[in-house]
Amino acid sequence: MKIYKTLVGLGLAVLLGACGGGGESGGAVQLVAGRTSVSAIDDLTAAPGTAASTQGSTLCGFDVGAKKLQGSVSAVHDGDTVKLNAAGVVHKIRLDGIDAPELAQAFGSLSQSTLASAVLGKTVQVAYSQTDQYGRIVGAVFTAGCDYVNLKQVASGMAWFYRAYQCELSAPLRAQFAKAEDAAVASKTGLWLDADPTAPWLYRNGVDPVAPACSSASSVWTGNPAPLSGSSSASTGTVVSSNCFQIWVNPYTRSNGTHVNGYWRDSAGCA
């Protein structure tokens, strides 16, 4: 697919980086800015992977996390992950509420360059509550003009609404992300030009997570969502421990058009 080769005024260089859309993976290409002038609003208080308050606040009219950072985006790994230089400290930021195509997927590079055109080399604010298991800050990114970058990626068809983690957004934001995705699908915008695009979480591991029913209108940190699974029976395997069970992987289509039939597999806790 077509990749934008030039992003005007951002002084880009292409370097090798390491970040997948939903986790950490090697071999990705990141876009890097030529300048990094920054300032910090609030200090980080939670170490990577530790619990932090999910108490919210309002920024640019949106309900977001209470912690704030301001800095310049120094690199864009893909369509949902950037590096932020805040007061000389570089933080990896995972945009919450969305999952962008992997760089190897259709629209992956375009999603990356679209995000880069919005934030690379520019001063942004990040509102967040938590870090994930990879040590990334998971939060909402806003431009100086109060553009909500996460939501714009979905509205422009450059990312999916990540419903498996929807409870980490407030109820009004869930509705806005769902509405933005529905509009992009209806207008065949971006990745929705494809009749049946492969979700990045299916591309990564073939597992379709459960979209949880949120118990609160406020944002709640959900951790890792459970994968969709079929009903267990003697013919499909026996649970040997609380950490070992069989998971049903739904049929899906790889980016090269190869169809994969549904199948059972052991969970990570099986020996």
Q: Give the range of the structural domain holding residue 271, as residue numbers without chain letter.
A: 226-271
Active site residue: 24, 35, 136, 181, which one? 136
pLDDT (0 to 100) of residue 190? 98
Q: Is 35 part of the annotated catalytic residue set?
A: no
How many whole angstroms separate alpha carbon 186 and alpha carbon 76?
A: 28
Same domain, 215 and 248: no
The number of distinct structural domains making up the chain is: 2
Same domain for 216 and 234, yes or no, is no
Helix count (H) and strand count (E) of the chain? Answer: 4, 15
In this prediction, residues 66-76 reach a mean pLDDT of 96
- Which pLDDT belongs to residue 257? 65
Q: What is the pLDDT of residues 39-60, one digit of tens each?
A: 333 333 333 333 333 557 899 9
Is 168 in the active site?
A: no
- Residue 74 sits in the same domain as residue 197: yes
pLDDT in tens, 211-228: 888 876 665 555 555 444
DSSP annotation of 187: T
| pLDDT tier, 210 (very low <50, low <70, confident <90, very high otherwise) | confident
Is residue 175 domain-shared with residue 231, that is, in the same domain? no
Q: Cα dihedral sign for 128, 42, 146, 170?
A: positive
118: which 2 tokens?
């919005």
121 and 194 housed in the same domain? yes
The answer to whether 136 is a known catalytic residue is yes
Per-residue pLDDT tens digits for 140-150: 999 999 999 99
pTM for the structure as a whole? 0.67
Instruction: Catalytic residue, from 24, 35, 102, 174: name it.
Output: 102
Residues 164 and 243 in one domain: no
Residue 6 lies in a domain: no
Same domain, 26 and 69: yes
pLDDT of the residue at 219: 58
